[in-house]
Amino acid sequence: MIAGLAGAGLAPALVRPAAAQQSTSSADVMRDALGDMAFALATSQLATQRAENALVRTFAQMETEEQMAFTEARRMAGLTLPSPSMMDAGEQQLMQQLQSARGAEFDRMYVQGQIRGHNELLQTHQAIAQSGSRTEERMLATVAVPAIKSHLSMLQGIQQQMARG
């Protein structure tokens, strides 16, 4: 996937810097997760307005609603809330590229970005579920992991359907 995106100038936006990939402290993992959540919400809100493909639009609506519910659960638990300022440089770059994309190009970029983001969310939530510093964080992460896996399956199905044309 990344090789195919290199020609479109997206590879840097889809690869987390090595330093971020190797962050191991609980605070670093949580910061990564919050940025990933903010990315999922911001791009999905945009996709509910811009997506051309009905499956992409439906997924974006579901993701938007789920991220808003997850943010509300974090607020009720007194936890730090995700915000766009927490997105890493790659996520910010992809967000800017999505804002200028249209049609099928937008749909492809959105789905690829969501697959990347959900893979990162899965890794960070698995880590938080096992060793998060707060019980509330571990509880939310434990619930999030199976949902993220389901989303990845959905996204891969959408990607395959889009490739078939």
pLDDT, tens digit, for every residue of 29-72? 889 899 999 999 999 999 999 999 999 999 999 999 999 999 99
Percent of the residues in the chain that have a pLDDT greater than 90, as a whole number: 78
Domain spans of the chain, in order of start: 26-164
b or e along 81-108 (b: 16 or more beta carbons within 10 Å of the residue's beta carbon)? ebeeebbbebbbbbbebbeebeeeebbb
pLDDT confidence of residue 155: 98
Q: How far apart are the first and last CA of the chain?
A: 17
Residues found in the chain:
165
Q: What is the pTM of this model?
A: 0.83
Q: How high is the mean pLDDT of the chain?
A: 86
Q: Which pair of tokens denotes residue 151?
A: 């989303």
Domain 26-164 has CATH 1.20.1260.10: yes
